[in-house]
Amino acid sequence: MMAAERGAAANTLSAYRRDLCGAQETIGPLAEAAREDVARLAAAWAALAPSSAARKASALRQFYGFLVDEGERGDDPSAALPRPRARRPLPRLLGHDDIAALFTRAEEEAAGNAREAVRLLALLELLYGSGLRATELVSLPFSAVPRDAPFLTVTGKGGQQRMVPVSNRARAALSRWIALRGGAEAVGGRFLFPSTGRDGHLTRVRLFQLLRALALRAGIAPERISPHVLRHAFATHLLEGGADLRVLQTLLGHADIATTQIYTHVDSARLVALVNARHPLGQARGAQARAALAAAPPGV
């Protein structure tokens, strides 16, 4: 049902399967579990982060809802599941200086036209310049490369297609990469970024590793970098520049604008910090606090 009716992505299906199998290992066959059995999951999930417990509970609620709809059960025991309050964390951010450092290093390394360096520059341009998800990027077919129109046709979550803009910089980087990669007849010709040494495309894990290695060489803490962090930077910096939230939703491929609205909180946090740092009252209070601390007796 999740695949055929909702069009859930492969990663989503895999996550649901893991959650349901994990619950079954704890309480036995899920289809036969009583309300008391389901209630035991709260203790089993006690050590989990609220967001993880909420995700597992959601998977089970949907599972039992499906059984009721199909007539497999006459009752729904999911009311006994815990309801942890999972706060959506603000995305990790990269400032403009960090982005500049990443691109400077990538461009320096690609200056010699080495195949791996040019590929990494093209990947970086598409992550930050078009806001692609990691899976969308590595699985891009060669046929998605723009010829006349400056757009990529991307297949996102649930098999939904959307068009995303490709900047002049990204198009130039892609042209350099294709010249080294070869055309559609090259090894791995189906994919824009084929895997090395096997049929298929570059993996998400390898993309993650390449970006963290680049960050280290650029003088940025590697743990601050990931493909999704660059997607966040794309969205945040567009919003800072005045992009409309609905346009941003379309570019990111969000089914629900509530998902896109997280970036308004990011921008609001930046504005609060700006007011505290630049507003005369904020500066005056900061100066008073520093003066009081300097006048305090030792040890206070």
User: CA–CA separation, 227 vs 203, rounded Å?
Assistant: 12
Active site residue 92: no
User: How far is the first Cα of the chain from the last one, in angstroms, to the nearest whole number?
Assistant: 64
3-class DSSP assignment, residue 151? strand
- Count Cβ atoms below 10 Å from residue 16 Cβ, excluding itself: 19
Residues listed for the chain: 300
Query: Among this protein's residues, is 56 annotated catalytic?
Result: no
CA distance linking residue 38 with residue 27, whole number of Å = 7
Residue 275 CA to residue 279 CA, distance in Å, equals 5
- Catalytic one of 157, 162, 212, 217: 157
Query: For 92, phi and psi rounded to 5 degrees?
Result: -65, 140
181, 231, 232, 237: the catalytic one is 231
Task: State the catalytic residue, choosing from 56, 119, 133, 181.
Answer: 133
Closest CA to 1 of 82, 77, 59, 78: 59
Please return the burial class of 280, using the count of CB atoms within 10 Å of its CB with bins 0-12, 13-18 and 19+.
Answer: exposed
Is 231 an active-site residue? Answer: yes
* Catalytic residue chosen out of the listed positions 169, 204, 254, 270: 254
Residue matched to tokens 């970006």: 211
- Is there a catalytic annotation at residue 157? yes
Distances (CA, A) of 160 to 37, 40, 201, 234: 38, 38, 20, 20
228 catalytically annotated:
yes
Position 23: which residue type? Answer: A
Q: For Cα atoms 263, 266, 269, give the angle at the middle one, nearest 5 degrees.
A: 150
254 in active site: yes
Active site residues: 133, 157, 228, 231, 254, 263
